[in-house]
Amino acid sequence: MQYARYGGPEVLEIVEREDPQPGPGQVRLAVRVASINPIDWKLRGGGMAPSDAPEKPVVPGVDLAGTVEAVGEGVTGLGVGDEVLGNASGGAYAEKALADAKGLVAKPAGVSWEIAGSVAVVVNTAYRVLAQLGLGADDDTAGKVLVINGASGGVGVVATQVAVDRGITVIGTASERHQGDVKALGATPVVYGDGLADRIRAITDHVDAAFDTAGKGSLGDLVALTGSADRVITIADPQAEEYGVQFSSGGGIDGALAEFVGQVAAGRYSAPETVVYSLDEAGKAQEDNRTGAVSGKLVLRM
Ligand SMILES: NC(=O)c1ccc[n+]([C@@H]2O[C@H](COP(=O)([O-])OP(=O)(O)OC[C@H]3O[C@@H](n4cnc5c(N)ncnc54)[C@H](OP(=O)(O)O)[C@@H]3O)[C@@H](O)[C@H]2O)c1
């Protein structure tokens, strides 16, 4: 699946391509499942690009799961037939994809392909931001109070469980229909939107930090709750600079992905629920994610 110009889901087209050859440090995967992330349709829409067409056709998609079928020079620890998950390099919405071997982790047998293919981006993001907030695995986190704005989404579901596991009291925002889901993760659920700060103050008189996964205009409330822009991080709000809040982007934390899928395999963590589409439904899947019509982690099964 690729696009040669920016636009709506109609710019996506299925094409036949030669199998990509892994370079040094890379492997080629026979992809089983590729994940839909909001960044995929944001990039496809072109709003983040300086022109109306990319230099060359783009295969969308970041995270995936599949079976190693070719190994590039210098790769150690991975061989043909290994079942892995992680990030693609150069697009994931494809039957064959390249990936840097060092970012991949083994797929536990007890974890489905759908879950394996859908967690790398949200897990890497959740663990990274918790650490940036001083709520990492090695920090003194017991008894801290954290607001997660958007606790029912892909990043939120992961961040909430990891934070609760670290002894942090989590207040998680979601829509009315997801209040029960947030509670089941161990957080105190609150409905997002106007009056958010007052609803949270009715629960606690102290908030140590806030993690905004939603990017929907809540930074003013979150800064007021924590008392300082330094205690708030967003991964999605374009007004971050205006509020003096850090906008976090980048990769993960060593070991985070293996730990999370290990906990899922052990039945201790729940992965975000998955909804499956076929590769030729990629445009519909992206639209369903963009509009919020379908909740959960949307995935493409090859
Ligand atoms: N910077 C980075 O490194 C990075 C990495 C990953 C993702 N992101 C960005 O982070 C965002 C979330 O990603 P995701 O995969 O977690 O998305 P997602 O699964 O679609 O989750 C979105 C979350 O936002 C909540 N939400 C919707 N409207 C809201 C509002 N007005 N106020 C507060 N919360 C609201 C949703 O709650 P309900 O479902 O209950 O409505 C849900 O919990 C996307 O914009 C994505 O591009 C950034």
Q: pLDDT tens digits, residue range 204-239? A: 999 999 999 999 999 999 999 999 999 999 999 999
Give me the pLDDT at residue 292, please.
92
| Domain co-membership, 91 together with 201 | no
Ligand 1 residue neighbourhood (C-beta within 6 Å): 37-39, 121-122, 125, 149-150, 152-156, 173-175, 178, 192-193, 213-216, 218, 235-236, 248-249, 295
Q: How far does the centroid of ligand 1 lie from the alpha carbon of residue 300, in Å?
A: 19
Q: Which pLDDT value is given to residue 48?
A: 82
Say how many domains are in the chain.
Answer: 2
Q: Flag whether 265 is in a domain.
A: no
Co-location of 196 and 237 in the same domain: yes
The answer to whether residue 253 sits within a structural domain is: no
Residue 266 lies in a domain: no
Same domain as 184, residue 242: yes
The CA 76 to ligand 1 mean position distance, Å, reads: 36
pLDDT at 162: 98
Q: Please tell me the distance from the alpha carbon of residue 59 to that of residue 54, in angstroms, as a whole number.
A: 11
Residue 96 within any structural domain of the chain? yes
The SS3 call for residue 253 is coil
Cβ-proximal residues to 32 (8 Å cutoff; 6+ apart), any chain: 64, 65, 66, 67, 113, 116, 117, 301, 302
Q: From ligand 1's centre to the CA of 293, what distance in Å? A: 13
Atom of ligand 1 nearest to the CA of 181: 40
Q: Residue 4: inside a domain, yes or no?
A: no
The residue ranges of the chain whose pLDDT is under 50 are none
CATH number at residue 232: 3.40.50.720
Instruction: Choose the residue to mutate in 63, 235, 239 for probing ligand 1, maximizing ligand atoms within 8 Å of C-beta.
Output: 235
DSSP bridge pairs for 146: 170, 209
Give every strand in the sheet of 169-174, ordered side by side.
188-191, 169-174, 145-149, 209-212, 232-234, 246-247
The answer on 19 and 109 residing in a single domain is yes
Rounded Cα–Cα distance for residues 86 and 65 (Å): 6
| Nearest-angstrom CA–CA distance, 219 and 275 | 30
Distances (CA, A) of 35 to 82, 155, 207: 19, 13, 33
**Whole-number pLDDT of residue 52:** 87
User: Whose Cα sits closest to atom 15 in ligand 1?
Assistant: 154
For residue 184, what are the contacts with CB-CB under 8 A and spacing of at least 6? none
pLDDT of residue 49: 86
The domain of 75 spans 9-119+271-301
Return the residue matching tokens 């106007």. 194
262 located within any domain: no
171 shares its domain with 232: yes
pLDDT of residue 176: 96
